[in-house]
Amino acid sequence: MENNYILVALFIVSGLFSSVTLYAEGTKQVRPSQSNQGALYIGGDAFLPPFALFNSNPNHRLYINIQNINETILFGFNRLSSIGPPVTFQLYNPADVVAMSGTLLNTNNTAGHIDSYAQAVEGPFPPPVGTGYLPLSYKVTNPSQLGNYYLYIKRDKFRHFSKTIEGQIN
Q: Does residue 66 sit within a domain?
A: yes
Q: Does residue 87 sit within a domain?
A: yes
Q: Does residue 19 sit within a domain?
A: yes
CATH number for the domain spanning 134: value is: 2.60.120
Give 166: exposed, middle or buried? Use CB within 10 Å, 0-12, 13-18, 19+. Answer: buried
Q: Does residue 159 sit within a domain?
A: yes
Interval 151-161 mean pLDDT? 79
Alpha-carbon torsion angle 51, 76, 21, 35, nearest 10: 80
Tell me which residue of 94, 93, 111 sits closest to 102, measured CA to CA: 111
pLDDT tens-digit profile of 69-84? 999 999 998 888 777 7
Interval 37-61 mean pLDDT? 80
pLDDT for 2 beyond 50: no
Q: Does residue 134 sit within a domain?
A: yes
Q: Which domain holds residue 158?
A: 13-168
Of the two residues 32 and 132, the one the predictor is more confident about is 132
Split into its structural domains, the chain has a count of 1
Identity of residue 60: H
Q: Does residue 27 sit within a domain?
A: yes
Q: How far apart are CA 21 and CA 15, in angstroms?
A: 6
Interval 124-147 mean pLDDT? 92
pLDDT tens-digit profile of 10-27? 222 222 233 445 555 677
Q: How far apart are CA 32 and CA 2, in angstroms?
A: 11
Q: Does residue 129 sit within a domain?
A: yes
